[in-house]
């Protein structure tokens, strides 16, 4: 028993001794670890406290339901039908003329294109793109509630790709004009239209850029005019670029801001696949308003010009002309009988402002001048020899005058026209054309046209009926303000003599 207790005490002593050694060891190590941490914490607390000011901006409203609901009922679907004859539409059919009438069965085949339009007044005025309705024989407009109407063309402007049409109705929903000048890059916008025949489609995006010139209107012959043996491009491209999804069928639709105001007419996309691939382009409403007002008031657009050939300042041009500024519009030439010439503008001047508003590119200058009419005065600021000069320019039309050009009507020709019967066509060895049935004082008589003359083609277009002829005359008259108001007529007399006439409708 004594041996047991002795062994027990020995084991207990060893346990206590081990516990004591362990406690001392842990205590020493803890002191060594904790002191530096405590010291570090103390040092951190003792450092001066610095607060960074954060600017907190309220989030921009991104609920587009109100703007969408305001506008979707005022955007329409447009179907434009064109009747195309199967027969040749080339130059005068010389073989037909010499070898006789060919009674081909030239049944016209309809071709239909689709687009969008924007109702801008309760009584049925609709803005769309010119390319949506150009050359159409029939224009059908379908509202968002599926009501359908036939529309008539009030006027067109190929230089801006804007057209005005009208349906006969009252009390329609419409979109009010906004201010495209106030749009900022990065601002939210909505594109409303009928892409791929999907009616009443709304997409959202931001304004990616302003004043974009992408060259899509440059190739149109109606957008060029000869001036002093050089050619000046008359197209106005100062597009609003957005990343809102736009596809074929959106052309002529609305670009609106978050308040539901019209700020542009969707016109084009840049794509290799003919479908949306990132960017779309809209005509700013600042241009649209001017075009619509002119068409309503005068029947055609009143185009005012400075009378200069211009371009952007590129690195190549800067090097060639030793230009030390990067912004502005370079003047390559000044036309005769132009307002710019009379005001003192010279070749080599750099336009930097119009009426005190800065311009950095040619597209911006064209867009600003497009808001004026012949006879209006603008203050031009130019750089010449590194000095700023201010000049007051009276804008003119392409004919070099300040007159307003109004649509005159077909009456100015001073003639009556008759359609030919099938028997008369066979006797004359032709398959189309109309006859000049009578003449009074007017453009045709002045040009030397005689009674009985058979009009076969006008401006390289076959004349199948009197309606065809009248339509071409009206279209030409609408371009009277753009230097394109001429009729080039090809025809024959009953004797077989072929004759050619040029009729100037600008005078």
403: which 2 tokens? 């007159």
Query: Residue 406: is it exposed, middle or buried by C-beta count within 10 angstroms (0-12/13-18/19+)?
Result: middle
Q: Select which of 131, 232, 280, 431 is catalytic.
A: 131
Is there a catalytic annotation at residue 228?
no
Residue 413 CA neighbour count, 13 Å, CB half: 25
Residue 303 CA neighbour count, 13 Å, CB half: 26
Instruction: Say if CB 393 and CB 345 are below 8 A apart.
Output: yes
**Strand stretches in 85-198, DSSP E:** 109-119, 125-129, 138-142, 148-157, 162-166, 188-193
Is there a catalytic annotation at residue 73?
no
Cα 311 to the center of its chain, rounded Å: 19
- For 337: left if phi > 0, alpha if psi spans -120 to 50, otherwise beta; the answer is left
As a whole number of angstroms, the distance between CA 368 and CA 382 comes to 15
Which of 475, 463, 504, 412 has the alpha carbon at shortest distance from 89? 463
Residue 81, helix vs strand vs coil: strand
Is there a catalytic annotation at residue 161?
yes
248 phi/psi in degrees, rounded to 5: -50, 130
Alpha-carbon distances of 46 from 36, 65, 295, rounded to whole Å: 15, 54, 77
As a whole number of angstroms, the distance between CA 349 and CA 335 comes to 14
**DSSP string of 208-231, one letter each residue:** EEEEE---SSTT-GGGEEEETTEE
Which of 201, 190, 275 has the alpha carbon at shortest distance from 240? 190
Q: Select which of 159, 200, 251, 370 is catalytic.
A: 251
Q: Among the residues of 47-170, which ranges form H helices?
A: 65-71, 94-99, 130-133
Instruction: Say if CB 75 and CB 194 are below 8 A apart.
Output: yes
Q: Select which of 161, 309, 349, 468 is catalytic.
A: 161
The residues that are catalytic are: 131, 161, 251
């Amino acid at each position: 028993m004594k041996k047991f207790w002795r062994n027990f005490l020995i084991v207990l002593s060893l346990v206590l001794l081990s516990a004591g050694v362990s406690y001392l060891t842990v205590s020493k190590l803890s002191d060594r670890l904790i002191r530096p941490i405590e010291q570090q914490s103390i040092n951190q607390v003792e450092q001066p406290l610095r607060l960074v000011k954060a600017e907190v901006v309220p989030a921009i409203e991104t609920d587009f339901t109100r703007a969408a609901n305001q506008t979707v009922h005022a955007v329409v679907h447009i179907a434009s039908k064109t009747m195309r004859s199967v027969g040749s539409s080339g130059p005068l059919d010389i073989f037909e003329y010499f070898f006789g009438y060919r009674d081909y069965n030239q049944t016209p085949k309809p071709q239909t294109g689709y687009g969008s339009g924007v109702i801008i007044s309760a009584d049925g005025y609709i803005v769309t793109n010119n390319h949506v309705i150009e050359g159409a024989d029939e224009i059908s407009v379908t509202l968002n509630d599926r009501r359908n109407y036939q529309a008539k063309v009030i006027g067109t402007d190929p230089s801006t790709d804007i057209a005005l049409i009208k349906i006969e109705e009252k009390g329609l929903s419409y979109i009010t004009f906004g201010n495209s000048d106030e749009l900022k890059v990065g601002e939210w916008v909505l594109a409303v239209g009928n892409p791929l025949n999907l009616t009443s489609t709304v997409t959202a995006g931001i304004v990616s850029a302003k004043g974009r010139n992408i060259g899509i209107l440059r190739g149109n012959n109606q957008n060029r005019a000869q001036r002093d043996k050089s050619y000046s491009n008359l197209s106005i491209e100062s597009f609003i670029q957005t990343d809102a999804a736009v596809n074929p069928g959106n052309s002529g639709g609305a670009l609106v801001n978050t308040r539901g105001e019209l700020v542009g007419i969707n016109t084009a996309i840049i794509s290799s696949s003919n479908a949306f691939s990132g960017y779309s382009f809209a005509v700013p409403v600042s241009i649209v308003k001017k075009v619509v007002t002119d068409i309503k008031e005068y029947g055609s657009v009143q185009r005012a010009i400075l009378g200069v050939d211009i371009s952007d300042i590129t690195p190549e041009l800067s090097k060639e002309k030793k230009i030390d500024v990067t912004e502005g519009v370079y003047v390559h030439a000044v036309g005769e009988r132009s307002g710019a010439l009379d005001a003192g503008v010279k070749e080599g001047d750099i336009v930097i402002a119009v009426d005190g508003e800065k311009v950095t590119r040619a597209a911006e200058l064209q867009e600003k001048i497009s808001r004026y009419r012949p006879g209006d005065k603008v203050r031009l600021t130019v750089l010449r020899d590194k000095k700023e000069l201010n000049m007051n320019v009276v804008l003119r039309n392409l004919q070099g005058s300040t007159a307003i050009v109004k649509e005159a009507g077909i009456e100015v020709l001073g003639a009556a026209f008759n359609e030919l019967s099938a028997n008369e066509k066979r006797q004359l060895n032709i398959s189309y054309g109309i006859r000049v049935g009578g003449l009074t004082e007017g453009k045709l008589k002045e040009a030397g046209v005689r009674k009985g003359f058979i009009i076969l083609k006008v401006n390289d277009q076959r004349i199948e009926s009197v309606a065809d002829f009248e339509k071409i005359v009206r279209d030409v008259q609408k371009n009277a303000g753009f230097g394109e108001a001429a009729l080039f007529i090809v025809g024959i007399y009953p004797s077989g003599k072929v004759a050619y006439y040029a009729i100037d409708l600008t005078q």
